[in-house]
Amino acid sequence: MSVVNFGSINLDFVYRVQALVRPGETVQSLSLERFAGGKGFNQSLALARAGAAVRHVGSVGEDGRWLVEMLETEGVDIRNVEVVPTPTGHAIIQVSERGENSIVVHGGANRELSNAQMERACADLGDRDWVLLQNETNASEFVFAEASKRGFRVILNPSPLDSSLLDLPLDRVDTFLINEVEGEALAGEDDPERVLVAMRKRFPTADIVLTLGDQGAAFSGRDGTAAYARAENVAVIDTTGAGDTFAGFYLAAVLAGANPQSALAAGCRAAAHCVSRPGAAPSIPLASDL
């Protein structure tokens, strides 16, 4: 069983600032660092580090070859990653002294996945493989159309959540991996319990996993199962990539047969490691770190 991840690969430019910049304000950054990142990249890396078999489907420019080599070194299957003439996608990330972040992504090569490339990736899918999707590439519409034809299982991390994603047949989703912001946008509720109730009503055939930052994570299963895991108490340096780390370790645990509560706990443990170190990809733990 593999996870086939249609996902972004980014260069992250991380600016440390005292506080996240407000509209109309100009602030001096305290430092600038460059890291490997992208929600897709981070989730593939987290899956591989957690011990799952993962195939990445994505695109980079010439400037991103090192990111593809990094995925391969980590054991991610890169047969469906292509190098295109457009520069690699990038993210401009502010991280405040409290470790909060705000992110602008520029799609670049992530928006250049070709139909032939995506068709090849779908043709490779085995019956028991899962397709993982975020919304930083141009693959979302294609993946939903293929899922309707072929009936494969889609795990959706709806980030960034925009109107084009909302127009897709989200009732095809097997598992939603959402945070509070996405939960509010999808469910029209801001209280976590109400988000889960509203999501359950709107998507009765999906499992819902809701991450709650320093409050942990909650699960509402299509079979009526509910589970919750506490976040670990750690000093927060940088929350960037915490959701991706959670996603990778949570899914790897489910693939390995864990029940929802243990899988949530595995995700929370890994996310705690991630937030206590700088950067997205560099702060994803190895299974042995946990």
Helix, strand or coil, per DSSP, at residue 213: helix
Q: Which pair of tokens denotes residue 155?
A: 């795990």
Stretch that binds ligand RIB, among 4-12, 51-59, 62-70, 138-146 (CB under 6 A): 4-12
Given candidates 4, 67, 254, 280, which one binds ligand RIB under the rule CB under 6 A? 280
**In angstroms, what CA-CA distances link 105 with 9, 78, 108, 151, 156?**
11, 22, 9, 31, 19
Q: Is 140 in the site for ligand RIB (CB under 6 A)?
A: no
Q: What is the DSSP string of 1-64?
A: -EEEEE---EEEEEEE-SSPPPTT-----SEEEEEEE-HHHHHHHHHHHTT-EEEEEEEE-GGG
Stretch that binds ligand RIB, among 53-61, 68-76, 122-130, 239-247 (CB under 6 A): 239-247
If phi > 0 it is left, if psi is from -120 to 50 it is alpha, else beta; for residue 191 that is: beta
Residue 44 beta carbon to ligand RIB: minimum distance, rounded to whole angstroms: 12
Residue with Cβ nearer ligand RIB (105 or 155)? 105
d(CA 202, CA 285): 35
Stretch that binds ligand RIB, among 5-13, 113-121, 249-257, 269-277 (CB under 6 A): 5-13
- Each residue 88-117 as x (binds ligand RIB by CB under 6 A) or -, in order, gives ---x-----------x-x------------
Catalytic residues: 244
Q: Is 42 in the site for ligand RIB (CB under 6 A)?
A: yes
The residue type of 216 is G
17 phi, psi to nearest 5 deg: -130, 160
With CB under 6 A, what is the number of residues at the site for ligand RIB?
Answer: 16
- Count the Cβ atoms, other than its own, within 10 Å of residue 229: 21
Residue 266 beta carbon to ligand RIB: minimum distance, rounded to whole angstroms: 19
Q: Is 71 in the site for ligand RIB (CB under 6 A)?
A: no
- For ligand RIB, the binding residues (CB under 6 A) are 8, 10, 12, 37-39, 42, 91, 103, 105, 136, 240-241, 243-244, 280
